[in-house]
Amino acid sequence: MIKYHKKRIVLIKCITTILVACFVTILAANKSVSANLIPENGPLDQATATVGQEMRNGSDHTLGNSFATKSSSSLGTDVFNIGDSSRPRVDAVDVASYQSQMTLNDYKKLKNLGVKTVIVKLTEGATYTNPAALTQIKNAAAAGLNVDVYHYFTSSTISGAKKEANYLLNFLKKNNLNKKILIMNDVEDDSTQTTQIGANLNAFWNVLSQAGYKQHGIYTGASYLYRDAAAKTVGFKRTWKAQYPYHPKAGTNWQTNYGAWQFSPTAKIPNGDYTGYIDVEMDYVNLFTKSSGTSPIQ
C-alpha cells in the first residue's frame, strides 16, 4: 500500500510538471514580443505590444509593419483618443491607403486637437503607389496641416535603391510636389537588412537630391539591426524612431536622442468620420514642420 502511494505521488508530480511546461509554452507563443517593443528607457512590464491593425499583410506596408509582434496576442497596445491629456503629446500622424476613408472633417479635427503634421505614404519598392496619396495630401493641406511624405524601402542593393528612388521621383514630378517637402524613407523591412544599408540609402538620397528634393529623413525602429547605420545617412535628429509602450503616458518620453518618436499605432480620432486606428508621433526637434508646410503641391 505504501509503495503504491509513493508511485501515485510520483505520477502526479510528473503529470503536473508536464502540464506546467505546456502552459508556459502556450503562454510564451501567444505573448511573444519583437525586440522593438522591449523598452530602452521604460519598465519591462510595458514592453508587450501588438500593432492592432489589419494592415500588416500583402505588398502595401504601413510604418511599423516589421515592429509588430510576430504572433497573435490577447494584449496589444491600448487604444486611446488623440487629445487625451494623460497620453504623450501628438504632434504628427502618418497615413497610408488604410486611412483612405478619412474625410476633410477628420483632418480638421486633428488640427483642432493640436496635431501639426500629416505624413502621407506615397510609394513602396519600385511597383506600388498609394492610390489615396494625392487626396490625403490635399485634405491635410486644406485643413491647415503641414504635409510630409514617406516611401517604404525594400532594396538590399545599390541598383535596387536607385530604382526605388526613381520610382518615387516619378510620382513627385508627375504630381508637382514641392521640392521643399520632407521625404522620409521607411527602413524596417527584413529584405533591407544588410551591412551596406548606408551605401544603399545614400544611393537613394543621391537620386532625389540631383532632382532637387533634398529634404530627407529616416524612419526605423529599435528592432532593426542596422538602425544606426541607416540613421547616420541623415543624422539622428532627422531620424524618426518607433517604439511602443503598452500604455503610453504623458511625461514619459522615449527615443529622445532622435528627432521624433512614434509611440503608438492604435490611436483614434475622437468622434471622427474615420473610426479606425492611426499611428501617432511626438516631434522633439520640429523635424516634421521644417518642410513645405501647407503647400505640398507647387
129 CB contacts (<8 Å, ≥6 apart)? 122, 123, 171
User: Is residue 65 very low, low, confident or very high in pLDDT (cuts 50, 70, 90)?
Assistant: low
The answer to whether 266 touches 84, Cβ cutoff 8 Å, is no
Count of residues in the chain: 298
The answer to whether 244 touches 77, Cβ cutoff 8 Å, is yes
The answer to whether 280 touches 250, Cβ cutoff 8 Å, is no
> In the chain, what are the helix, strand and coil shares in percent, each to the nearest 5?
35, 20, 50
What mean pLDDT do residues 34-54 have? 32
Between 124 and 47, name the one with better pLDDT.
124
> How far, in Å, are 32, 134, 166, 256 from residue 27 at the CA level?
9, 44, 46, 33
Q: Is the dihedral of CA 289, 169, 93, 226 positive or negative?
A: negative
Give tens-digit pLDDT for 105-151: 999 999 999 999 999 999 999 999 999 999 999 999 999 999 999 99
- Cell numbers of 254, please? 522615449
pTM for the whole structure: 0.81
What mean pLDDT do residues 229-239 have? 98
Reply yes or no on whether the pLDDT at 76 is more than 90. Answer: no
Instruction: Give the model's pLDDT for residue 97.
Output: 97
How far apart, in whole angstroms, are the C-alpha atoms of residue 120 and residue 291? Answer: 13
260-268 and 278-283 strand pairing: antiparallel
Mean pLDDT of the chain: 83
How far apart, in whole angstroms, are the C-alpha atoms of residue 266 and residue 20? Answer: 34
How far apart, in whole angstroms, are the C-alpha atoms of residue 286 and residue 290? Answer: 7
Cα-Cα-Cα-Cα torsion 247, 251, 255, 261, nearest 10 degrees, comes to 70
Strand partners, 262: 242, 281
Burial class from Cβ neighbours inside 10 Å (0-12, 13-18, 19+) for residue 188 reads buried
User: Is residue 59 very low, low, confident or very high in pLDDT (cuts 50, 70, 90)?
Assistant: low
Give tens-digit pLDDT for 145-185: 999 999 999 999 999 999 999 999 999 999 999 999 999 99
Instruction: Give the model's pLDDT for residue 41.
Output: 34
Instruction: Give the model's pLDDT for residue 20.
Output: 42
Instruction: Give the model's pLDDT for residue 39.
Output: 36
Give tens-digit pLDDT for 187-207: 999 999 999 999 999 999 999
